[in-house]
Chain A
Amino acid sequence: MTDKPESIKKVSIICASGDIESVYATLIMSNGAVMEGMEANIFFTFWGINAVKKRSMNKIKTAVIGNPAMPIPSILGLIPGLSWLASKAMMWRMNQLDIPPVDEFLEMIQAGGGRVFVCKAAVDMFMVKKEQLWEGVEDIITVGTFYELAAGGQIIFT
């Protein structure tokens, strides 16, 4: 019998984009981690910060221009509202599959012990105030603190 590799005990996931794909990859992987009994830290930075801003968190979108995976010609992306429509369709389908909106999803992750952080550099750069952030954000931290939190675990960049 071969030895089973040691299981992952902790993941720290960095979300640096504010599109549906990156944000949901982050949320699903974090939630999956806590459901498997692992520790999970999420670190939102750059445009990923939109996923934890009260005003934008449930309005994140997918790109219809410059997205080679999107099954429509990029030029059609110029049609006003198409990104909104494509995003609505994705969110509708996800909801059917019990994948919740961003705020509810983050609450689920926290219920399982997951922790949510925001990058200080992103907060400074985008001039975001603490009160604009979702209440569940535990802290605004530097990259150094992030590495301290991630110690001994795996780091994932979405």
Chain B
Amino acid sequence: MVQKTLAGKNVEVNDEGYMTTPSEWSRDIATALATEIGITLTDKHWEVLEYLRKSFNEGVALSLRKVGNSGIVDIKGLYSLFPGGPLKKSALIAGIPKPASCV
């Protein structure tokens, strides 16, 4: 675990940069996390992030297919929102653990 300052707040992240306490997350922190990996958040990004957080809080095991079937964005769209890591990068910005899914 390492402490990291994001948007003026101290948060704990793991070795891969994922927040370890999802409740510490805020929109400002998300914006800072996104900026670090070169993503500028649009309304569509926020919709995906909110969906991911909601699913995580409900205990849903996330997969690419689930997000693709969420009605928010199709899989191709998800790849263009989070290039090179549709699930990995979106989860990182959403402040939730990296999804342990092979799909």
Contact = CB atoms under 8 A, between A and B. Distances in A.
Interface in A119-136: none
A28 B64 CA distance: 12
Interface in A28-44: 28, 31-32, 34-37
Contacts of B75: 107-108, 111-112
A111 B75 CA distance: 6
A35 B83 contact: no
Contacts of B86: 35, 112
A28 B83 contact: no
B60 to A, nearest CB: 10
14 contacts: A28-B103, A31-B64, A32-B103, A35-B85, A35-B87, A36-B84, A37-B83, A97-B103, A99-B103, A104-B65, A108-B64, A108-B65, A112-B79, A113-B79
Interface in A59-114: 97-100, 104, 107-108, 111-113
Contacts of A97: 103
Of the candidates A36, A108, A113, the one having the most CB atoms from chain B within 10 angstroms of its own CB is A108
B84 A31 contact: no
B53 to A, nearest CB: 19
A98 B103 CA distance: 7
Given A35-B87, A100-B103, A107-B75, 13 more contacts: A31-B102, A32-B103, A36-B85, A37-B83, A98-B64, A98-B66, A100-B65, A108-B103, A111-B75, A111-B76, A111-B79, A112-B75, A113-B79
Interface in B52-92: 61, 63-66, 68, 74-76, 79, 83-88
A112 B74 CA distance: 11
A97 B101 CA distance: 9
A37 B84 contact: yes
Nearest to B83: A37
A28 B74 contact: no
B88 A28 contact: no
Nearest to A34: B79
A28 B76 contact: no
A111 B83 CA distance: 11
Contacts of A111: 68, 74-76, 79
